[in-house]
Amino acid sequence: MALTEIKNKASLLLRNRRLLDVIALAVLILIMLAVFLPLFFQDEDVPTRIRPVTCRNCKKRESVSIGDIEKSSCPSCKGEIQYTYKCIECDFEFPLKRLKPNEITGIKDMTNKQYIDYRISESRCPNCGSIYTDPKRQ
């Protein structure tokens, strides 16, 4: 009798072990789906914020809801828009020209000082030449 009892318990343990393996595999698959499935169905929309912008064509200044400025256009004339910057010293508001990556040449060859000078001159106030400029707040 002892031998048959051992065989019955062994088969019961083996069946329970298989069931536990299937449950563990199912839980693992669910966790992987929960982690990786959102990566395949991401929204391409960038969160929008209300930012002051200036149109290059009509020079109109507005605060508009912008996600990606590269894909946005002027609500009035559909022209290219740029972020509005403000000079701290003379309170002059101007559009900051954003450079596209293919317009920037020689940055890899610049030293640190040349790069810093380039970045400072890029956001210089066109009215007074001050380097103290900030993005205009609403």
Question: DSSP of 29-66, one letter per residue?
Answer: HHHHHHHHHHHHT---PPPPEEEEEEETTT--EEEEEE
pLDDT tens digits for range 27-37:
999 999 988 88
Each residue's pLDDT tens digit, 54-74: 887 888 888 877 766 777 778
State pLDDT tens for residues 4-41.
766 666 666 666 777 788 888 999 999 999 888 877 77
Q: Which helix (H) or strand (E) holds 14?
A: helix 2-40
